[in-house]
Amino acid sequence: MLLLQLLKYKRFIRIIMQYNFNAIEAKWQKKWAKQKPFQAKQPAELTEQKPPFYVLDMFPYPSGAGLHVGHPLGYIASDIYARYKRHKGFNVLHPQGYDSFGLPAEQYAIQTGQHPAKTTEVNIKRYREQLDKIGFSFDWSREVRTSNPDYYRWTQWIFIQLFESWYNQETDKAEPISNLIQLFEKHGNIQVNAASDEDVETFSAEVWSAFSDHKKEAILLQYRLTYLAETEVNWCPALGTVLANDEIVNGISERGGHPVVRKKMKQWSMRISAYAERLLQGLENLDWTESLKESQRNWIGKSVGAQLRFKIENFESFIEVFTTRPDTIFGVSFMTLAPEHELVAKITTPEQKEQVEAYIKAASLKSERDRMADVKSITGVFTGAYAEHPFTKEPIPIWIGDYVLAGYGTGAVMAVPCGDQRDYDFAKYFNIPIPNVFKDVDISEKAHADKDHTIIANSDFLNGLNAKEAIAKAIEKLEKISAGTGKTNYRLRDAVFSRQRYWGEPFPVYYVDGLPKMINEKHLPLQLPEINEYLPTEDGAPPLGRADFWAWDTKNNKVVDNKLIDHKTIFPLELNTMPGWAGSSWYMFRYMDAHNNSGIALSEALQYWKNVDLYIGGSEHATGHLLYSRFWTKFLNDLDVLPVEEPFKKLINQGMILGESAFVHRLKDSNTFITADLIEGKETQPIHTDVSLVNFSNELDIEGFKNWRPEFQDAKFITDENGKYIVSREVEKMSKSKYNVVNPDDICEDFGADTLRMYEMFLGPLEQAKPWNTAGITGVHNFLKKLWKLYHNGDKFEVSGQSASKESLKTLHKTIKKVTEDIENFSFNTSVSTFMICVNELTQQKCNSKEILGPLAVLISPYAPHIAEELWEKLGNENGISEANYPVYEEKYLKEDNKTYPISFNGKMRFTLDLSLDLSKDEIENAVMQDERTQKQLEGRTPKKVIVVPGKIVNIVG
RNA sequence: GCUCGGAUGGUGGAAUUGGUAGACACGUUGGACUUAAAAUCCAAUGGCCAUUAUGGCCGUGCGGGUUCAAGUCCCGCUCCGAGUACCA
C-alpha cells in the first residue's frame, strides 16, 4: 500500500518536473502581457544609445476562419529575427495590427445583417488569442486597425494631400496645386510640364483668367494626383454593383450568374503613372528578390519608342500611335484602332458603318479578361478610311480590331506585319499586303521580331542601318516633319480608387455643382454612416446611398440629414468608399507613432525609425500592395512628410505551407468506401475527408467519419486485411474547403508553442513552399525535451558552476557561429538542425555547466522563447531573457590541431587520415604516400600526380 | 509565349568560395526497459553485389563538356511550380 503511494508520488513529481510546456508557456505569456518587455522605445524615451531596427509582417485581414498553421510562418520568422536583434542591442520595433476593412465582412453583413464592425471585432479577438498562444514578441501598444476612425482619419488626410497636389515633371516631384495655379496665371499651361490627363486643352494666361471658377476647377482636376475620371468598369445591373475582373466568368457574374457589361463610370483614380519612372528606378537599391523586382518592372512596363501622327485622308484629324519600332515605319501596311477609339465613329465610311457598329457592340459585351484570354481568334473590321504615310504619302487602310487595347498607349497601332506577329496574323487573315523591310530575312512563315541582328531595307533613308541606328534616324526625321517624337511609354495605369462598397474608408468629399470639394482636414475623420442594409440602392447607387445622414453642412462643418441638402451650404457627400489598399499603403509608418493625432506620426518618430528594415509577407502582394505603398511613400516624401523614398528596405516572401489532404475512395454509384490499397482497377471517386479523422498512419476513424456528415451515416467500408481503412494523401493548398486545415491552437495544446515555432522553421527554407506533416513534429518536440533534460538531473533542476570542458566549449561556440550566420541569412531551418546537433553533443558530453547552458538558453530564445525564459529564470537570472546579450563567438575554442583528411584516388574517397594542420604540403604528401592503405590502393602503380589542398583534401591521380 | 524559381534516399530537407553527397529530422526495422502499453534509450537504414572483418560497383531530373576533383561551373534538353500575358 505504502509502496504504491510512493510510486504514485514519484510519478506526480516526474510530471511536474518534466518539461511541462503548457504551464511554462501560459506563465510566460502572462508575464509578457503584464511586463511588456517588447515595447519599442520612442527616440525621446531612450536612456541609452540603441540603434533602431524595424521588423514588420504584412498585417492580416482578420477573416472569420481564424489562423491555420500556414499563416504564422512568416510571423515566426520575423519574430525570431526581432528577438535576435533585441539580444544584439537594437531598439526593435516589431508591431502588429489588422487590415480590417474588406469585402468578406461586408459579404457576411449582407447575408446576416450584422454590422461589419461587430464581426470584425469578433474576428480580431480570435486572431489575437491565436497569435498570443504562439508567443510573439509584438509591441501591441502600437496596434493599428485600418477600420478604426483614428486611423482612417489619416488615410483620408493623405487622400486630401493627393488631391491638393500635382506632379511637376520639371522638378520631378509632387507640388502643391497652388503652384500650378500660379503657373497658369502667369503662362497658361503651354509651358507646364506636368503629369495630367491626355485630353487637356491648351490655354494661355489670359484664357485661364477668363475661365469661370467651375471651369478652372474642372481643369485642375485633370492635373491633381487623385482625380475623378470616366473609367470603364464591369457593371452588373442585376447585382447593382461593379465587379472585379476575377469575379466574372465567361461574361457573367460568378455570384448569381448575371450578365455583366462594360460601362463608363465616374470614379476616383490615383495618378500613380506620374511616379512610373521613380518606381522603376527605386527598385535598384532595394534588397528584394530579383523575381519580385522583375514582377514590378513588368508591371510598370517601360517601353521606349516614338509617338507618331498619321493624317487621316479627307479629315482634319490625326491618329496618334505609339511604337517601339519606328525603324520599321516603311513596313506599315495598315493601321488598327481599338474598337473603343474615339475616332472610329467619325471616320467610318457609310458602306462600312453597319459592320463596324456590329463589331463594336460585340466587343463591348466581352470583358477585358475574355478579350485577353481569347488570343487565338483573329477579328477585325475595315473602317473604309485611309491614313497617309508620313514619308511616302501612300494611303494606309484603317481597321479596327480588339487585339488593340484602348487602355494602352494611344489605343491605336501602326501595323507592321513583317515585324510583329499579331500584325502578321491579322494581315494574313484579311489578305493585307506584308511588305518586307528587313534585309535577307525570310518572312513567308512568320514575322521577324528580332531587333538585334537586323539590317533595314526597302526603307528609303533607313536602308542599310541596323535597328538601333534606324530608330534614332527615324525619330529625327519624324521630328523634323512634325509627324512624331521620341517617347517613353509605361504600361502602369492609373489606379481606380473608388469602390461601390460600404466597409471601407469614406471619401472626405462633397459635391458642389458636380465638382468635388474636400472637407477641411480639421474636421476629419469623416466617419462611416450607419445604414440599414449593406447592398446597393435600387437605383444602383453604392450602399452609402442608403444613409439618411450623409450630407455635408459647410457652415457648421458636420454631417447632416440628406433632407437638408440645398446645394448652397449643404451638399451631398461622396457615396463611394476607398479600396482595400488605401489603408495598407501607409500603415508601416503609423506604427512608428501609432496614437498620434496631429499627423500620421510625429516627425521625430518618422525621422528616427525611417523605414522598415525587414518586411515579411506573401508574394501575392508583389504588384498590388507593394507598388501602391511605394507610390504613397514617394508622394509623402515629396511633401516632406516622410524622410524616406522607400517603405521597405529588405523584403522576404515566405513560401506557402501546404496541407496534406486525405481522401476516401467511394465505389462508383454506391455508398461503399474502399481502402486505398485496394482501389486499383476499380472505378472510384475520391472524396476529401477531414484530416482530423485520420491518424499518423493514414488510418481513418470510421465511426468519426460516419458522424462527420449525415450522408455518410450508413456508409459501408471495405478495409484491408488488418481491418483498417487507409486513406490516400495528396499535397494541396491548405483550405477549409479541402478539409486539410491544421489549427495552430491544437498544436500548441498538444506540443507547445515552442515546438510549433521550431517545427515551422525546421520544415524547410522560409521562402519555399512546403507541405505540413504533423507526424514529423515529434522530432522537434523531443529535441526540446532533451534540451530541458540538459538542465535537470532526473527530477531536479541542476546546473554546475564548474567550468566547462574544452569539448563543450567547442560545441557551444560552433553553435553560436553557425546559428548567428543562419539568422543573418534567414536560414532558420538549418539553425534548428544546428541546435539539435548541439544538444545531442552536450548530452553525450554529460555537460551541465552553467558556462555553457546559460549562453545556450539565450541562443535558443528567439526560436523557443518560453522554455528559454523558464530555464533562464531557473539559472537565477532576475531580468527576462530578452534583455540578455547575445553570446559572442570566440574563434579560439574552435581551433583545431588536426584535420581528418579524405584521401581520394582519381576523385573517389577511399579512406581518411588524421594529420596535423601544421604540416606542409610535402609533409602531407609524404604521410599519405607512406600509409599502407595508399600502397594497397595503388597496387604498385606510381601516381601521376598528387594533389594536396592543406586543410581540405588529398587526391591521388594515377 | 515570356519572366523567375526548382528537380538530391520511402518523406521533409543539408552540403555558405568546386574538395568526404545524403547533415538534422520523420518513417521503417531490430533490440533494451515493462506483466503490458505508452514514454524513454540503443542500433541499423541511398541502391545493388559480396562478406569473417576488410570490400566493390552505381548514384544528386536527362545528354554532353570543363577540371586532379562537379549536386555545385559551362552548353543542350525534359519535367514541375509561381507570376504574367494580344503592351504595339
Between residue 749 and residue 788 of chain A, the positions with Cβ below 7 Å from nucleic chain B are 762-765, 768-771, 773, 775-776, 778-780, 782-783, 785-786
Nucleotide nearest to A413 (CA to C1'): B88
Rg (CA), chain A: 35
Q: Which nucleotide is nearest to A902 (CA to C1')?
A: B20
N residues, chain A: 958
CA A730 to C1' B4, whole Å: 26
Between residue 696 and residue 725 of chain A, the positions with Cβ below 7 Å from nucleic chain B are 696-697
Span CA (A678) to C1' (B43), Å: 35
Q: Which residues of chain A have pLDDT under 50?
A: 1-16
Whether nucleic acid strand B comes within 7 Å of the CB of A861, the answer is: no
Distance CA A310, CA A712 (A): 71
Is A833's CB less than 7 Å from nucleic acid strand B?
A: yes
What DSSP letter does each residue of A686-736 carry, written as one string? EEEE-GGGB-TT-BB-HHHHHHHSGGGTT-EEE--TTS--B-EEEEEE--G
State which residues between 604 and 633 of chain A bring their CB within 7 Å of strand B: 619-620, 622-623
DSSP A883-917: GSPPPPP-GGGG--SEEEEEEEETTEEEEEEEEET
Please say whether the beta carbons of A479 and A472 come within 8 A.
no
Instruction: Name the nearest CA neighbour of A784 among A130, A134, A20.
Output: A20
Nucleotide nearest to A836 (CA to C1'): B24
**Could you tell me the distance in Å between the CA of residue A913 and the C1' of nucleotide B57?**
24
The pLDDT score that the predictor gives to residue A10 is 42
| pLDDT of amino acid A372 | 56
Q: Identify the residue whose cell numbers are 575554442.
A: A893
Nucleotide nearest to A822 (CA to C1'): B16
Nucleotide nearest to A325 (CA to C1'): B88
Angle between helical axes of A625-638 and A290-300 (0-180°, round to 10) = 70
CA–CA gap between residue A479 and residue A304 (Å, rounded): 16
Residues 11-30 of A with CB under 7 A from strand B: none
The A 322-351 residues near strand B by Cβ under 7 Å are 322-325, 338
Beta bridge partners of A266: A230
Q: What is the pLDDT of residue A6?
A: 43
pLDDT digits (tens, 9 = 90+) for A553-583: 999 999 999 999 999 999 999 999 999 899 9
Query: Which residues 397 to 436 of A reach strand B, CB within 7 A?
Result: 402-405, 408-411, 413-414, 416, 420, 422
* Biggest distance spanned by C-alpha atoms of chain A: 116
Give the closest residue to A745 by CA, choosing from A139, A138, A132, A140.
A132
Q: What is the pLDDT of residue A708?
A: 87
**A558-566 CB contacts, 8 Å cutoff, 24+ apart:** A558/A523, A559/A526, A559/A527, A559/A529
Q: What is the pLDDT of residues A433-455, one digit of tens each?
A: 999 988 888 888 778 877 777 88
For the record, the C-alpha cell of A697 comes out as 498512419
CA of A805 to C1' of B42 (A): 25
Of A residues 902-931, those with CB within 7 angstroms of nucleic strand B are 902, 904, 906-912
Measure CA to C1' and name the residue nearest B85: A372
Distances from the Cα of A622 to the Cα of A630, A651, A706, angstroms: 11, 10, 44
Residue A373 confidence (pLDDT) = 55
Q: Which of A241, A238, A242 is nearest to A257 (CA)?
A: A238
Query: Which bases of chain B come closer than 7 Å to a protein CB?
Result: 3-5, 11-16, 19-21, 23-28, 40-41, 55-57, 68-70, 81-88
Burial class (CB in 10 A: 0-12, 13-18, 19+), A282: middle
**Structural domains of chain A ordered from first start:** 303-490 (3.90.740.10), 657-733 (no CATH), 751-884 (1.10.730.10), 896-957 (3.10.20.590)
Query: Which distant-in-sequence residues (6+ apart) come within 8 Å of A792 by Cβ?
Result: A17, A798
Which pLDDT belongs to residue A208?
Answer: 93
Place of cell 514588420: A56
Straight-line distance from CA A301 to C1' B87, in Å? 8
State the nucleotide closest to A289 in CA–C1' terms: B4
Contact A906, A878 (CB under 8 A): no
Cα separations in angstroms, A566 against A137, A547, A557, A570, A572: 54, 17, 15, 6, 9
Q: How far is the CA of A180 from the C1' of B55 (A)?
A: 88
CA(A819)–C1'(B32) in Å?
Answer: 35
Q: What element of type H or E holds A194?
A: strand A194-195
Looking up cell 472610329 gives A344
Quote the pLDDT of residue A5.
45
Chain A residues 638-657 within 7 Å (CB) of strand B: none
